[in-house]
Structure 1
Amino acid sequence: MGSSAAFAQSNASGVIFGHLAQPEGATVRIQNLDTGLTREIGVDSQGRYRAASLPVGRYRVTIERDGQTVESRDNVQVTLGGGVDVSFEEGAAAAKTLEGITVTGNSLPAIDVSSVDSRTVLTAEQLQKLPVARDVTAAALLAPGVIAGDSRYGNVASFGGASASENQYYINGYAVTNALTGLGFTSLPFDAIDQQQIFFGGYGAEYGRSTGGVVNIVTKRGGNEWKAGVGMYVTPQYFAQSPRSVYRTNGQLYQYRGSNKTSAMQYTGYLSGALIKDKLFFYGAGDFTRTTGHTVGTILAPQDAGEVSKATKWLAKVDWNITDNHIVEFTGISDQTDIDRSIYAYNYSTLQATNYLGTDKLKNYDAGPGSAPGGDVYIGKYTGYLTDSLTINALYGRSETDHERRLGYAGSSNCPWITDSRSDASSVIVGCGMVNGTVLGPGAKDKTHGWRFDVEYQLGSHDLRAGVDNQTLESYSGRQYEGGYRWVYRNAGTVPGRPDIQPPAGTQYFVEKRLFQTGAAVRTEQEAQFIEDRWQMNDRWMLYLGLRNEQFKNLNGDGQTYVAQRHQLAPRLGLTWDVFGDSSFKMYANAGRYHLAIPSNVAIRGASASTYYSEYYLYDGVGPNGEPLNLQQLGSRIYLNGEDGTTPNPQTVAAKNLKAYYQDEYILGFDKTLGTDWTWGAKLTYRKLLSSIDDFCDSRPFEKYAERNGIDISNASIPGCYLFNPGESNTFLVDVDGQGTLVPFKLTKQDFVTPEGVGFPDLKRKYYALDLYLEHQFNDKWYGRVDYTFSRSYGNSEGQLKSDIGQLDPSVTQDWDAPEIMQYTNGPLPNDRTHQLKAYGYFQATPEWLFGANVSVASGRPKNCIGVDPVDAIQYGASYFECNFQPSPRGSRGRLPWTYQLNLNTEYRPLWAGASQPLAFTVNVYNVLGKQEEIGIIEVGETGAVDAQGRPIKSREYQRPIAFQKARYVQFGVRYDF
């Protein structure tokens, strides 16, 4: 079969294309087998035809001549964003003598020669048959080069070495990524997923705002046949393996987790059908999940939290085929989670809960990073097939999410965060607080609205497409310490960089008081225009040319613009070669640039009013709520990062002409069929982060520049931190007299060099990978795929996040705050997994019995030792890649163990339930081998203070595990489809 005009499609549809050997008088008729949607496509003089922007689903493709059917293909599956080659070489030729005779067949090429990107598409059938946890991230982790992000960021993934906040998530064409941080997304009922597309490179100009990957979901829709189904999935704790308890490296118990188990019950249902046959369709689905269990906290916060979580997700979709040429879709999604916790004190000597402390109630709120935003989403879309060659798509969407957290204390209303960091204390000081960390402030909310419009026109062998893609993200958010402030008990000693903190001789301990408070309504406006041409140069070569132009604008809590970036040009280039002309062997290459906007959370703290200070005290005794008594202050209050509660001048927050965060990527690969059922291939990927945005918090470069240029800055108002492009020269506006007189300071890289000769290194984050795969198409018995990835992610910056310490401040991490902190930072990055092996598949043993497996093997994460710098000129304590005052380069402390995970499932569909086998019983066993290797540890090796001899005090928490592989658990399910 000759390859024809082959073009991939938009983020919610697909394409059917092909070639006829005898085009004279022929018409191609394409009909959706479920909805009846029908298109009749003309054939050009060279025998090519193409149907664009088709809703995903099953189609019949028929060749007609003089009103009679010549040949047809049934069950042509249109996949999300993909192209299906349906050519009729022999049938068209045979039509000369066999006019009117229909020939049917379903054998179609397994290789999509129309795509230049790297993607994995999972269908609803595959998601149902594979032993994969029922969530979007678990499905995304099946794709090569995708790993789980740091556990402290929640259930999120990292793509191709990028940090976990650099991804974009779409449902039915609308972006549902977390509006505040970029971590996570609004989800949907799992059974409502029709197809899930995972892009991990090479995607076209219609996609932007991502330097990691793209997860694109299209939902199911109603058809002419009414269908319904119900299901129940039970995960009892009685069949669950006990999680590993956490011990310090000296063998001391830190957290008892032996009884930290949960039980879950999920009820599902769906209803779909035609309100008007061939015209108006409805699909609705819902999940209700109730999870119960309890969690024992650490010895530093000994609590037992009994938890009841209620997660409600629903989706409703209406499709209106006004005519075969005009389609309208409406989608509504709700993702709401409420958690009620009853918290008790816990006695570690008896391993029993004791007195009641209070309640902790949360709504759409992850107690850690907020990576599960939830909320309500509404999407409307129009598709118009104006002619065979002209198609338009228009989309509008909006979302809204409320976040709440209410703490109800049983006793004292004054329960601050208490941390005991003394390394030699015989007992642990604990407080009455229940969270022991930062909590969300009142009134937190996220809102988004956006629209897209694109026009597609086929001009001979060129498929031209242009569009506009705008989205506005709004958030009100802020965080503060539980109880208003935090007390940290420490071994007495001098604090590096704070000479006035001098405990008297003989003092054993002292205490630090910290206050942290932020809160603002912020907004990010993102606009983009794109144009692309997919040029079928001949029957075997296709060239893709794309250009995306992006504009980003970030506004602070007072509605003032503090960063505006325009003309961020992102060219994309791709080439495919159908080597034999029969879609059996494809070679492809692509290169592209990808931009990422500054996340909204930056303005909460960096561009709006915030307060952050430390005070140090001697104390005599500890009160019942863990607070120190009889205080005597040492030195004066120290504002950290200049956060003194005032809003900085928006013109002074960021470097002028700040370049956007962007990355270049290059891919070279091939796909090859082996016989009729097998496909194999290889791909080389290289990514290089060329520009980053972070903050630096060091006044010395300004002092150096002022002295060299004779500028008086004795009364200057210099913010604590500035946004800038790390590793480059930057220009800043400085209020030199504190009265608003702004003077440009053109700081070169040399200006950032300290008196000791330490300067910022050039930005470096590189990723290269070799991916190999072997896939067996389903042939009535079994399906399977194996992926092996060899990769390296290395450099001196992870990107927007800092997984070394689990810091949740995208684009304002601790990295780059001063030159000293970037010493010895070059090495394997946190998301580096050198070796990954993934294999999954299923076997239809009999019409009644199906068995599935999912295997994942990966090498461990790099380990570090982060400690104190001898000078600590920026007063950051244990924040440097140094330990014992010696360099400790990134990744030099070895690796965490390899991880091995095997998931198995079985499905039984009894024939006695009916010929269509509507009843299914399932059992899924996750982590069959019960492996619970460490996947995260504390990498800070020192406390931040020094002893009387001036030596760094080692941290007893160093290398303590913070996360293990999830313990083995079993899920039982039953479904019935009507």
Structure 2
Amino acid sequence: MAPDGQGMDHHIATARRFNLLFLFLLAALLPTAVLAQVPTGTIGGRVTDAQDRSIPGVTVTVSSPALQGVRTTVTTVNGDYVFRFLPPGDYTVVFELSGFASQTATRTVGATETVTLNVTLQPAGIAEEVTVTVEGSTFTNTVEVATNLRQELINALPVARTLASVVNLAPAVHNTGPGGEFTIAGAMSFENVFMVNGVQITDNIRGTAQSLYIEDAIQETTISSSGVSAEYGRFTGGVVNTITRSGGNIFSGSFRTSFRNDNWRTVSPFNESKVDQLVPTYEFTLGGPIARDRTWFFVAGRLQDAKTSRETAFTNIPYVFSEDEQRLEFKGTQSLTPEHRLQVGYIDVRRKQRNAAQGQVMDLESLTNPSYPENLLSVHYSGTLSTNLFFEAQLSARNMTFKDSGGTDTDLIRGTTLSDNQTGAFYWAPLYCAVCGNEERDNTSLLFKGSYLHSTASAGSHNIVFGYDTFNDRRAGDNHQSASDWHIWTTATKIVDGTVYPVVEPGFSTYIINWPILEASRGTNFRVHSLFVNDHWMLNRHFTFNLGLRYDKNAGRDASRNLVANDDAWSPRLGVVWDPAGTGRTTINASFGKYVAAVASGVAEAASPGGVPAILAYFYDGDPINSGNELVPTPDVIERVFDWYNQARPSPFQATIPGIAVRVDDTIRSPHSYDAVLGVSHQISSNAEVRADFVNRTFGNFYAERIDTTTGQAVDEFGNVLDVGVLENTNLLNRRYRALNLQGSYRIGTRLMAGASYTLSRLWGNIEGETIGSGPVTSGVLRYPEYRQLEWAYPEGDLSADQRHRARIWATYDLPWGARLFSTQLGVLQQVESGTPYGASGSVLVDPFVENPGYAVLPFTMGYYFTDRDAYRTEAMKRTDLSITLSRRIGTRSAPEVFAQFHVLNVFNQFDLFNISDGDINTTVLTAIDDPSLEVFNPFAESPIEGVHWRKGSRFGEPVSRFAYTTPRTFRFSVGVRF
């Protein structure tokens, strides 16, 4: 054994080597570093005696398996204390002072949560030690309306353990956005923020969350929908924060193999085919100490090569879709000193697909084989500068590349994409171009944040957070719409023995569209600079206030490096929690906040020629093709159409030339929402609680393009005279959300745990603002205003993402018998949700009924709602899922544990025709433009008659694919070992 001095020197030298290693890694990663808002929590409160007098000088210590070492502070003259930047987890808090009995309390801290822990110390003669244990979920007695779900619960339930399956359990969340994406509190699906370890993981265009995580590596997920601190911005809906594990002082790990087979399910009423192939997914995790309480590591991986059966739309041709994916995660945590901590995290994903469909496709020729390499980096520092001053910084980055996405043949015949104007489905050639260059989609950012505890004797304590963050949305790539840069949208199609034949009619039902890229992209750069301050003011035991203010400044440049977004906005965040009894059992909360989104780069760059295609659309006016009994093959049809085009050289009915016919006059402003909440939470017992919140949210500053007699005209390089469109924002339209959110949890003994969430809501207005294919889109309400009326073009009603009722009820139960052989845990999840609305709408002729006020390119047709926009609703969805988990330790309590888990989804095999959000239910409506047997009418003076002026398609309201129905009864299982 070495002498004390030598042992200490060795320990210091070892610590220095670890510190230098982490600093070296930090320096190596900085050149690519970039965004985040740090997902840590806070514990704070006040210590008093039995007469409610403040006690200064109390030593307060926190410890946790998630924390390296312990942290200690001393209460102020007002008895206040605070611990900032705590990693999410379970904490033990000890209060000690000579002359008083020590007190120990346990609390769970979620990401972004501020836990209030007020303590009353008793004289030492009355009690030597007091222990208080509180179980249940987090985010009660707070201004923030949030749900915290730990992965231990998710692992016990019959869910996929993905981020989507976790978010699905929270109130105020609806998976009714385009393509089934999540809307939170009524916002458009692209205006939420999803983060992993504080790094934004949403796609730059559609705002969808990418799978930058490994399920077994997730520690917990927090979904915040209202009352959000001023520390968070760039959203109008909600914030989802997922934390992955970080290792610890004890080595732990797992290996899991999950098995599924497309043949292990029933067939839906669509009567689709199945693929009998076993698909394993391998996951591993390993974490532990390199040096206890100083250096931790954590690694995880996931490997999968999945194959599933799919069918083409309308033709129902079966094919096998496959996805080969590898994910790898590394995280290292280093305590530089007991007061200073550094953490580096990295996730890498390699994903390749075969037979991928972009939108709804009708044939196998439209399938593609893309790949999507992606990675995520975060570097986080936190430090305690004094007992009441704290500082942290984070750099982070996400990089994604689109490769081989689209068609591979640039020939005019073989590379031109066709679309059926009646169904919107594509055929013949893939969308986009795989041989025209890759596309890069990256996020970068930097955050600095300080925290200061100001304690007063008469006005309580102020836990003040202040800081700066900057977020940069970057994208580079040319947006080719097909390999040839041409589309033909045909009148209809004929399907004979699985072969698609285009039906081409002259007039207004067949379009020829050219999408030329006139200037290569130089890369977009949409940066947001933000300042924020947030005061968590604990006045006394009865009142706590949240006083926050955020300032966001846009500096957005499009792919031609033009400054198109230069606005700024202030966002107040105000809230109060009233505890009538001062015990924390029952509290009433109220809050008001303004949330400001980041500018959608896909919209803001529409005025740039850099990488953005021009749109030159022409009506076909040649001979009809395949309108009778003839069956002309597709390549011959395309050749005839282009022969007519080359001879006729028609004028375009739509000409959108970025940089010429589209411009930004002033600036594109960020959309925003106003959020008002009134709620109550009640701690029924130490293991049961419930919370209810009434939410009212309104939205504004919608994206729009204005074309009127004041926006002017321009001549393009082809000699066409064009009407100029101006990209701007409008509040002519409206979008509103009102909801009652309920959530609760209840633990009975040590075996049964139950939880539930329920949302009663309405989302209504007259703007959808997004589509499946494009994500955010500009409204056309300001285009050619003389040619439409709001009551039939943009009627008010329940929007497509509206869902009146949504309930999730779950429970887990540990069986008391059989433990000598294995432990058995049952899990159940009941899902119930209302259907979503849709209406009957189509295109009608408007040009003959309006005197041209001077436009160069007349809008021949406009969209028209023949019914209320919410005239129809899909069926309500009901589904019961079950899980059984068997486990047994191999030896002592600390020995490895083997386990097997079995899931049965939709146990009762209930099928409901409910999913319209990704186009799987037909909504085709025909007018005189599509069907010559129907009559033209004057939309400004006549009321259309069904069967005379319009009619529903023959399959209106019917499924397009099996995904229109509830997931069929499905079996899957996994086996593994953990220690």
Contiguous gaps of at least 5 residues in structure 1: 1-8, 246-255, 365-373, 493-502, 707-714, 728-761
2:856 matched to 1:889?
no
Shift of 1:316: 0.8
Conserved 8 A contact 1:540-1:581: yes
Q: Deviations over 1:497-536 (max 9, x none)?
A: xxxxxx99xx899853222355633221111111111111
Conserved 8 A contact 1:432-1:626: no
2:564 matched to 1:579?
no
2:127 matched to 1:117?
no
Distance across 1 between alignment mates of 2:754 and 2:737:
28
Shift of 1:453: 0.6
Residues 89-168 of structure 1: matches in 2 within 5 Å?
A: 89=120, 92-96=121-125, 101-107=128-134, 112=139, 115-150=142-177, 152-153=178-179, 156-168=181-193
Distance across 2 between alignment mates of 1:602 and 1:924:
42
Shift of 1:386: 0.7
1:497 equivalent in structure 2: none
Distance across 2 between alignment mates of 1:966 and 1:454:
45
Conserved 8 A contact 2:422-2:925: no
1:317 to 313, 331, 345: 331
1:522 equivalent in structure 2: 524
Conserved 8 A contact 2:617-2:654: no
Range moving further from structure 2, 870-879 or 856-865? 870-879
2:801 matched to 1:828?
no
Conserved 8 A contact 2:692-2:740: yes
**TM-score (norm. length: structure 1):** 0.81
1:941 equivalent in structure 2: 925
2:886 equivalent in structure 1: 908
Residues 191-340 of structure 1: matches in 2 within 5 Å?
A: 191-245=216-270, 257-259=272-274, 264-299=279-314, 303-340=317-354
Residues 432-451 of structure 1: matches in 2 within 5 Å?
A: 432-433=428-429, 435=430, 442-451=437-446
RMSD across aligned C-alpha pairs, in angstroms?
A: 3.5
Distance across 1 between alignment mates of 2:157 and 2:323:
26
Distance across 1 between alignment mates of 2:711 and 2:435:
35
Could you say if the C-alpha distance between residues 613 and 933 of structure 1 is closer, same or farther in structure 2, counting changes exceeding 3 Å? Answer: farther
Distance across 2 between alignment mates of 1:538 and 1:19:
9
Shift of 1:796: 0.9
Q: Deviations over 1:236-262 (max 9, x none)?
A: 2221122442xxxxxxxxxx6333787
Conserved 8 A contact 1:881-1:890: no
Shift of 1:64: 2.8
1:880 equivalent in structure 2: 863
| SS of residue paired to 2:305 | strand
Distance across 1 between alignment mates of 2:218 and 2:334:
20
| SS of residue paired to 1:648 | coil
Distance across 1 between alignment mates of 2:365 and 2:864:
40
2:839 equivalent in structure 1: 864
Shift of 1:82: 1.9
Distance across 1 between alignment mates of 2:109 and 2:683:
20
2:728 matched to 1:724?
yes
2:656 matched to 1:643?
yes
2:111 matched to 1:80?
yes
Shift of 1:10: 7.2
Could you say if the C-alpha distance between residues 778 and 188 of structure 1 is closer, same or farther in structure 2, counting changes exceeding 3 Å? Answer: farther
Distance across 2 between alignment mates of 1:552 and 1:410:
40
Contiguous gaps of at least 5 residues in structure 2: 1-35, 50-54, 456-460, 494-503, 626-630, 851-856, 937-948
Could you say if the C-alpha distance between residues 673 and 837 of structure 1 is closer, same or farther in structure 2, counting changes exceeding 3 Å? Answer: same
Could you say if the C-alpha distance between residues 145 and 818 of structure 1 is closer, same or farther in structure 2, counting changes exceeding 3 Å? Answer: farther
Distance across 2 between alignment mates of 1:115 and 1:513:
57
Conserved 8 A contact 2:263-2:277: no
Residues 350-365 of structure 1: matches in 2 within 5 Å?
A: 360-364=368-372
The amino acid of 1:532's aligned partner reads N
2:397 matched to 1:398?
yes
2:43 matched to 1:16?
yes
The amino acid of 1:977's aligned partner reads R
Distance across 1 between alignment mates of 2:77 and 2:652:
75
Shift of 1:767: 0.7
Shift of 1:102: 4.5
Q: Deviations over 1:664-685 (max 9, x none)?
A: 0100000012233322232110
Q: Deviations over 1:131-152 (max 9, x none)?
A: 22221112101111211134x5
Range moving further from structure 2, 923-932 or 851-860? 923-932
Distance across 1 between alignment mates of 2:885 and 2:279:
20
Could you say if the C-alpha distance between residues 288 and 807 of structure 1 is closer, same or farther in structure 2, counting changes exceeding 3 Å? Answer: closer
The amino acid of 2:345's aligned partner reads T
Could you say if the C-alpha distance between residues 79 and 298 of structure 1 is closer, same or farther in structure 2, counting changes exceeding 3 Å? Answer: closer
1:950 equivalent in structure 2: 935
Shift of 1:780: 1.2
Residues 461-480 of structure 1: matches in 2 within 5 Å?
A: 461-477=461-477, 478-480=479-481
Conserved 8 A contact 1:32-1:57: yes
Distance across 2 between alignment mates of 1:270 and 1:46:
45
Distance across 2 between alignment mates of 1:214 and 1:517:
38
Could you say if the C-alpha distance between residues 626 and 582 of structure 1 is closer, same or farther in structure 2, counting changes exceeding 3 Å? Answer: farther
Instruction: Kindly tell me the number of residue pairs found equivalent between the two proteins.
Output: 860
The amino acid of 1:529's aligned partner reads L
| SS of residue paired to 1:321 | strand
Q: Deviations over 1:797-831 (max 9, x none)?
A: 13x314xxx45241425555444274332100111
Could you say if the C-alpha distance between residues 602 and 725 of structure 1 is closer, same or farther in structure 2, counting changes exceeding 3 Å? Answer: closer
| SS of residue paired to 1:259 | coil
Residues 650-661 of structure 1: matches in 2 within 5 Å?
A: 653-656=663-666, 658-661=668-671
Residues 407-426 of structure 1: matches in 2 within 5 Å?
A: 414-420=414-420
Conserved 8 A contact 1:868-1:877: no
Distance across 2 between alignment mates of 1:532 and 1:961:
50
Conserved 8 A contact 1:439-1:480: no
The amino acid of 2:957's aligned partner reads Q
2:548 equivalent in structure 1: 546
Q: Report the structure, 1 or 2, having the larger strand content.
A: 1
Could you say if the C-alpha distance between residues 626 and 202 of structure 1 is closer, same or farther in structure 2, counting changes exceeding 3 Å? Answer: farther
2:651 matched to 1:669?
no
The amino acid of 1:192's aligned partner reads A
Distance across 1 between alignment mates of 2:220 and 2:709:
54
Could you say if the C-alpha distance between residues 787 and 809 of structure 1 is closer, same or farther in structure 2, counting changes exceeding 3 Å? Answer: closer
Distance across 2 between alignment mates of 1:422 and 1:641:
20
The amino acid of 2:538's aligned partner reads Q
Shift of 1:843: 1.3
Distance across 1 between alignment mates of 2:764 and 2:687:
38
Conserved 8 A contact 1:418-1:626: no
The amino acid of 1:414's aligned partner reads R
Range moving further from structure 2, 613-622 or 663-672? 613-622
| SS of residue paired to 2:873 | coil
Percent of aligned positions with the same letter in both sequences?
18
Could you say if the C-alpha distance between residues 73 and 647 of structure 1 is closer, same or farther in structure 2, counting changes exceeding 3 Å? Answer: same
2:355 equivalent in structure 1: 341
Distance across 2 between alignment mates of 1:725 and 1:509:
31
1:691 equivalent in structure 2: 701
Shift of 1:540: 1.3
2:778 equivalent in structure 1: 812
2:755 matched to 1:785?
yes
Distance across 2 between alignment mates of 1:896 and 1:429:
21
The amino acid of 2:370's aligned partner reads L
1:959 equivalent in structure 2: 957
| SS of residue paired to 2:632 | coil
**TM-score (norm. length: structure 2):** 0.81
Conserved 8 A contact 1:30-1:38: yes
Q: Deviations over 1:297-327 (max 9, x none)?
A: 1345x65433321122221111101112101
